[in-house]
A = this chain, B = another copy of it.
Amino acid sequence: MTEFELINRYFNRAAECSSVVLGVGDDCSLLQLPEQRQLAISVDTLVADVHFPANADPASIAERALCVSLSDLAAMGAEPLWFTLCLTLPEASEPWVSAFSRGLFRVASEYRCELVGGDTTRGPLAISIQVMGAVSPDCAFTRGGAQVGDLVYVTGTLGDGAAGLAGLKQMLKLDSKAFEYLSRRYYHPVPRFDAARKIVGLASAAIDISDGLVADLGHICRASEVAANIHLECLPLSPALLQWASLSQQHQWALGGGDDYQLCFTVSPSNVEAVETLIDRGLDACVIGDIVSGSDVHPYLRGERFSSSSTGYQHFG
């Protein structure tokens, strides 16, 4: 058995799910999509020192990589089914792969998403994950459904991912409790399937916030051919962010920091009452603005147009 085959063994687990007709180990995997469902797919590549520190804990890298991809399924209203993993490694380090696979399967089990294929190659550390899920026809949340008059909601709190990364890079002073909370928000983003399931049939458009609120809500605006006004005093911020970040950092990270993986969604006036009822019953979402005619996202602070240079995490890809 070669080093390579040994490494692959870490990922070759018998499929537990009846939708996997033939799993890892042949030329292709064979998969059975549930009846009357469309296939939803999304793929992300994470490169060491571009998307995560190369020396980060391998289990955390794996957990984050899979959660980030799963978040795209949640943002579409799809249920996770399967994923594939392309892992490029500078050397075949068994301890690294062992820890990586442990993190990967922890998340895979939590979200019932089965590993059904992949490729392991030698090269600079990088991870590509393709997630596949199922969605009922006409039930998917797209980016193009927002209309003038809709309200704009976000789930959870904003800016924590960027603050967590700043903390990890020792560019933000934090006590141990805040460090633990914020770094966890960076490494362990939670794909918001829980929220997505609740707003099926109620949201007119949705996206997950990976590149920053302004950038991602901007995608909804472009696809829907509308504009959005948002109000900085309405943005949901965590106690850790409020305590440890300056006001300008709070604004910058909530508007432009990526890596939050919360959902941003729009709701037509006729569905607002239903969404507010969900919020009363525990959905952690709040209104941050509304959809108007025009283009782009316009942030306001106490009624005045707020100008900020940070309109999104401008990574290369």
Interface assignment of A208: CB less than 8 Å from any CB of chain B: yes
Interface assignment of A109: CB less than 8 Å from any CB of chain B: no
The answer to whether A27 touches B47, judged by C-beta atoms less than 8 angstroms apart, is no
The answer to whether A51 touches B121, judged by C-beta atoms less than 8 angstroms apart, is yes
Interface assignment of A126: CB less than 8 Å from any CB of chain B: yes
The answer to whether B4 touches A316, judged by C-beta atoms less than 8 angstroms apart, is yes
- When chains A and B are docked, how far (Å) is the Cα of A26 from the Cα of B142? 7
Main SS class of interface, A = strand
Copies of this chain present: 2
With A30-B140, A50-B123 known, 7 other A-B pairs at CB within 8 A are: A3-B316, A8-B317, A21-B38, A22-B142, A25-B223, A44-B86, A130-B130
**Chain B residue at smallest Cβ distance from A205:** B26
Interface assignment of A281: CB less than 8 Å from any CB of chain B: no
Contacts of A51 in B (CB 8 A): 121
The answer to whether B33 touches A130, judged by C-beta atoms less than 8 angstroms apart, is no
The answer to whether B117 touches A42, judged by C-beta atoms less than 8 angstroms apart, is yes
The answer to whether B40 touches A28, judged by C-beta atoms less than 8 angstroms apart, is yes
Interface assignment of A99: CB less than 8 Å from any CB of chain B: no
Other-chain residue from B3, B41, B144 in contact with A28 (beta carbon distance below 8 A): B41
- When chains A and B are docked, how far (Å) is the Cα of A276 from the Cα of B40? 43
Give per-residue flags for A128-152: 1 if the beta carbon is below 8 A from chain B beta carbons, else 0: 1010110101001111100000000
Interface residues of A toward B: which range? 35 or more
- When chains A and B are docked, how far (Å) is the Cα of A41 from the Cα of B46? 21
Contacts of A28 in B (CB 8 A): 40-42, 72-73, 75-76, 78, 133, 140
Contacts of A89 in B (CB 8 A): 317
The answer to whether B126 touches A43, judged by C-beta atoms less than 8 angstroms apart, is no
The answer to whether A207 touches B27, judged by C-beta atoms less than 8 angstroms apart, is yes
Interface assignment of A9: CB less than 8 Å from any CB of chain B: no
Of A2, A86, A130, A317, chain B has the most CB atoms within 10 Å of the CB of A317
* Chain A residues close to B by CB (< 8 Å): 2-4, 7-8, 21-22, 25-33, 38-48, 50-51, 72-73, 75-76, 78, 84, 86, 88-89, 92, 116-124, 126, 128, 130, 132-133, 135, 137, 140-144, 206-208, 223, 314-317
The answer to whether B40 touches A29, judged by C-beta atoms less than 8 angstroms apart, is yes
The answer to whether B30 touches A39, judged by C-beta atoms less than 8 angstroms apart, is yes
Other-chain residue from B33, B40, B45 in contact with A86 (beta carbon distance below 8 A): B45
The answer to whether B30 touches A38, judged by C-beta atoms less than 8 angstroms apart, is yes
The answer to whether A26 touches B143, judged by C-beta atoms less than 8 angstroms apart, is yes
Contacts of A42 in B (CB 8 A): 27-29, 117
The answer to whether A123 touches B122, judged by C-beta atoms less than 8 angstroms apart, is no
Other-chain residue from B30, B47, B120, B132 in contact with A88 (beta carbon distance below 8 A): B47
The answer to whether B316 touches A22, judged by C-beta atoms less than 8 angstroms apart, is no
The answer to whether A123 touches B126, judged by C-beta atoms less than 8 angstroms apart, is yes
- When chains A and B are docked, how far (Å) is the Cα of A316 from the Cα of B92? 8
Q: How far is the CB of A154 from chain B (nearest CB, A)?
A: 15
Contacts of A120 in B (CB 8 A): 316-317
